[in-house]
Amino acid sequence: MGADENTIIRVENVSKTFSGKDGQVEALKNINLDIHQGDIFGIIGMSGAGKSTLVRCLNFLERPTEGHVFIDGKDLSGLNEKELRAERTQIAMIFQHFNLLMQRNVIDNVCFPMEILGISKAKARKRALELLEEVDLADKAKSYPAQLSGGQKQRVAIARALASDPKILLCDEATSALDPTTTKSILALLKEINEKHGITIVIITHAMSVVQEICNRVAIIDGGTLAETGTVLEVFSRPKSRAAMKLVYPDGGDTSVAEMKGRHCIRIVFSSNSSFEPVIGNMVLYCNAPVNILLADTRDIGGIAQGQMILQLPEDEQVAARMIAYLRERNLGVEELDGYVG
């Protein structure tokens, strides 16, 4: 597998096997993946799929049983412990449960990685204050973690992760412990950091909504294998693997409902249309024929409709064709479901 000059993380034939009392468990099997400079890259899968093991292999907190991980072309497996520690300063990580030092206040938590790097106290505190300003927590510098909300703790963890000026930020289920509103604000902060600093962000999650909200590319892990990878729009609009369909379709990818209802079924994907435009209603009026909505999973993200619908179109071939043409003219992704159309 070739990597172009924009590749910052390259995973090559990585497998990871754990030995336990019940024998060996193959957590990862022959994973190949390229992540480009500046990506917000989602790694998604169900619980136990192997995604957290994969992210820990990216910085060699878990050493792969087989295969190689390259960071900016440097093979981590060829580094000694001292060189590996130095490389890890460029690969920061944030976690689901924040991992803050409870006996230290906020500013001292942010200073901690700089202390380890031998940065002077005055310089570290100055940088920590700048970072707290960036994550909108300057007023909490003297507070202790126990006095903060979950979202505030994660903001401290993000500030601390940025203290070593990393080129890569790994986020292992970083929003799983947060409510939806707080999750949205943390994802917005990560996107802002990515745009401002050009830091490559890798997000491990089990939630498709997180990937839709922030990522530009995604890999789907299933049973320790790479089921599918591509841009978020590609994977979301045309999932090829069963694992992807389980994540994309609310009903787990079961289109048997559509089959029972009849033929002429299409799936339409919203990705750039205004959420204020009643596309389906306008299509029905334009074509003067009803449709049956078999499945709908759409949401408003920043005034843009995101999501999908499965529609059963009229049996009349000409009317169905007019409807499909109408939708495509409005830049909607339209997929005629195999076995149900034509």
CATH code of the domain covering residue 302: 3.30.70.260
Q: Are residues 277 and 214 in the same domain?
A: no
Sequence-distant (≥ 6) Cβ neighbours of residue 91 within 8 angstroms: 58, 59, 71, 166, 167, 168, 170
152 is in which domain, residue-wise? 7-247
Long-range CB pairs of 181-184 (<8 Å, 24+ gap) are 182/149, 182/150, 182/151, 182/154, 183/210, 184/213
> Is residue 225, in this structure, part of any structural domain at all?
yes
> Is residue 184, in this structure, part of any structural domain at all?
yes
> Is residue 342, in this structure, part of any structural domain at all?
no
Distances (CA, A) of 114 to 27, 95, 104: 34, 19, 14
Among residues 231, 247, 263, the one where a domain terminates is: 247
Q: Considering only CA atoms, which of 218, 215, 235 is closest in space to residue 40?
A: 215
Coil/strand/helix, residue 189: helix
Q: Are residues 196 and 293 in the same domain?
A: no
CATH number, residue 27: 3.40.50.300
Q: Are residues 293 and 194 in the same domain?
A: no
> Is residue 99, in this structure, part of any structural domain at all?
yes
CB 9 within 8 A of CB 35: yes
> Is residue 121, in this structure, part of any structural domain at all?
yes
> Is residue 178, in this structure, part of any structural domain at all?
yes
- CB neighbourhood size of 160 (10 A): 26
Among residues 193, 216, 247, the one where a domain terminates is: 247
- Whose tokens are 């995101």? That residue is 306
Q: Are residues 216 and 300 in the same domain?
A: no
* Dihedral sign computed on CA atoms, order 217, 223, 225, 227: negative
> Is residue 15, in this structure, part of any structural domain at all?
yes
For 273, which DSSP code? S
Q: Are residues 202 and 308 in the same domain?
A: no
| Residue type for position 272 | S
Q: Are residues 295 and 235 in the same domain?
A: no
Q: Are residues 199 and 267 in the same domain?
A: no
Coil/strand/helix, residue 101: coil
Q: Chunk the chain into consecutive blocks of 10 residues (it has 342) and report each block's average pLDDT, rounded to whole numbers.
A: 75 92 88 94 88 92 93 91 90 89 94 92 95 94 94 94 94 87 92 93 89 90 92 78 76 46 73 69 90 76 66 89 90 71 36
**Taking the model in full, what pTM does it have?**
0.77
- CB neighbourhood size of 33 (10 A): 21
> Is residue 287, in this structure, part of any structural domain at all?
yes
What's the number of domains the chain is made of?
A: 2
Q: Are residues 237 and 267 in the same domain?
A: no
Residue 302: its pLDDT value, please? Answer: 54
Coil/strand/helix, residue 215: coil
Q: Are residues 221 and 332 in the same domain?
A: no
Write out the DSSP string of 116-143.
HTT--HHHHHHHHHHHHHHTT-GGGTT-
Among residues 247, 271, 292, the one where a domain terminates is: 247
Q: Are residues 220 and 315 in the same domain?
A: no
Give backbone dihedrals phi and psi of 267, rounded to 5 degrees, phi first.
Answer: -115, 130
Residue 315: its pLDDT value, please? Answer: 87
Residue 76: its pLDDT value, please? Answer: 94
- CB neighbourhood size of 169 (10 A): 23
Q: Are residues 201 and 274 in the same domain?
A: no
Q: Are residues 226 and 330 in the same domain?
A: no
Coil/strand/helix, residue 244: helix
Triad 175, 53, 19: Cα angle to 5°: 140
